[in-house]
């Protein structure tokens, strides 16, 4: 099979047509009286019509049938998907989860949508304000089924297994150490090769953007050209008797409609509202080359900003392999109490501040103003280590979903999930006082 092709750029104006239908994009206008090849013109708006041009997001799709051709929606039960943040009592404790269990295919077939589990979140999609964090654990592909969310944008982080994602814009493969973003309203279907697991962050407010670089300059962190968008691909496939299911996540609930044709019938498209993926290995790390441990904001890949300048609804932050060269510095992450909520996951390897207990496919949550930091073994080792240039996090990729919102745990995330580590707090108990009132400067 030929490798998939992609378009390069972030927030760019793209244009793509399936090579089987050359000239399928209308010339010089968006919705002619008759589109080439007898196609329908349909606009997908990701922002208000009157949003400033710098923030205006929309794409024109030229498809075999409009997306409106389906039966009425009806509710679908998915017991682990919820935005009811009041279903469980508040819990300010440090939380850690061992790797989330993947259902065995011999016992139960679970696709990507069925495998979504809400861990924590805040806000309300009805008010277009908030965030939700999920784990997905699945073992089978979505067959004649697609999904879209009316509530926000999905940022998907695979930890185990490749995701073969078909969208209305084309196809993309998302492997371990890559991420993808599927924005509000975009229909997609996920195929897997076997047991698959990962993390999802959904933002309700706005879309992800690249962080401002400020005095860093014009280059660094995640470079725009490394973001990849699929090229147009279509199938003109009939699925008789309403055999194709469209799942809509709407106001935190799932609904399904049926139709007689594949939704992936877009022959051509143009615009700047697109799905995309990014390889985390392409991140250009910025760090201190003199002294002190820098704030983790220097590792921000994508951000969804609030209306307060510099305050994020959500940041996606990574901790990639890098050089550590600071002099006279405690090099691991410092002890911290934060006005933000910090959800961390591990894609591969072992995290420097807690090499025991925090494993790939697991997670931690340090809620707003909840103390956290290196465990006792890390502290003692770093305080006495020889400070020479050192490669750290080699073979590792940890990440953080950081939010200005106070995220609440769901019933499943707090109690029902069998992988909650009830002894997480014990990693700090061996820390001892080194205070010496007779200390004198050297």
Residues with catalytic function = 293
Q: Is 384 helix (H, G, I), strand (E, B) or coil?
A: helix
Burial of 286 (0-12, 13-18, 19+ CB in 10 A): middle
Structure tokens at 439: 């200390």
Pairing relationship of beta strands 58-63 and 40-45 according to DSSP bridges: antiparallel
Structure tokens at 96: 């850690």
Helix (H), strand (E) at residue 379:
helix 376-384
**Binding site feature residues:** 336, 342, 351, 372
**Binding site feature residues for Fe cation:** 336, 342, 372
Residues 6+ apart with CB under 8 A from 119: 97, 133, 134, 135, 343, 363, 365, 409, 410, 412, 413, 417
Return the HEC string of 22-65. CCCCCCCCCCCCCCHHHCEEEEEECCCCCCCHHHCCEEEEEECC
DSSP bridge partners of 357: none
**Rounded CA gap, 285 and 437, in Å?**
40
């Amino acid at each position: 099979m030929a490798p998939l092709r992609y378009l390069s750029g972030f927030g760019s104006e793209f244009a793509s047509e399936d090579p089987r239908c050359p000239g399928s994009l209308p010339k010089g206008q968006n919705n002619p009286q008759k589109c080439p090849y007898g196609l329908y013109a349909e606009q997908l708006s990701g922002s208000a019509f009157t949003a400033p041009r710098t923030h205006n997001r929309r794409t024109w799709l030229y498809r075999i049938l409009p997306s409106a051709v389906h039966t009425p929606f009806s509710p679908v039960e998915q017991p682990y998907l919820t935005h009811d943040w009041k279903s469980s009592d508040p819990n300010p404790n440090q939380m850690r989860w061992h790797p989330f269990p993947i259902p065995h295919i011999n016992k139960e077939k679970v696709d990507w949508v069925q495998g979504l589990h809400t861990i924590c979140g805040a806000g309300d999609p009805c008010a277009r304000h908030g965030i939700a964090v999920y784990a997905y654990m699945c073992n089978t592909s979505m067959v004649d089924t697609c999904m879209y969310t009316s509530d926000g944008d999905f940022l998907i982080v695979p930890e185990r297994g490749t995701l073969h994602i078909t969208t209305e814009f084309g196809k993309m493969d998302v492997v371990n150490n890559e991420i993808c973003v599927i924005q509000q309203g975009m229909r997609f279907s996920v195929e897997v090769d076997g047991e698959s697991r990962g993390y999802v962050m959904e933002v309700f407010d706005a879309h992800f953007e690249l962080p401002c670089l400020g005095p860093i300059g014009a280059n660094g962190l995640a470079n725009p050209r490394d973001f990849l968008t699929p090229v147009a691909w279509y199938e003109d496939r009939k699925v008789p008797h309403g055999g194709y299911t469209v799942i809509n996540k709407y106001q935190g609930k799932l609904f399904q409609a049926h139709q007689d044709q594949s939704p992936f019938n877009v022959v051509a498209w143009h615009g700047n509202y697109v799905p995309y993926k990014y390889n985390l290995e392409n991140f250009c790390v910025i760090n201190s080359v003199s002294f002190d441990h820098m704030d983790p904001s220097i590792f921000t890949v994508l951000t969804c900003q609030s209306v307060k300048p510099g305050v994020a609804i959500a940041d996606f932050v990574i901790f990639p392999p890098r050089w550590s060269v600071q002099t006279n510095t405690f090099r691991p992450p410092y002890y911290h109490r934060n006005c933000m909520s910090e959800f961390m996951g591990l894609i591969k390897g072992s995290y420097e501040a807690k090499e025991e207990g925090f494993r790939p496919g697991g997670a931690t949550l340090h809620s707003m103003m909840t103390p956290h930091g290196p465990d006792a073994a890390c502290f003692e080792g770093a305080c006495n280590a020889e400070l020479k240039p050192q490669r750290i996090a080699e073979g590792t990729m940890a990440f953080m979903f950081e939010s200005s919102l106070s995220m609440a745990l769901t019933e499943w995330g707090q109690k029902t999930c069998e992988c909650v580590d009830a002894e997480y707090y014990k990693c700090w108990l061996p820390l001892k006082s080194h205070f010496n009132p007779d200390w004198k400067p050297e």
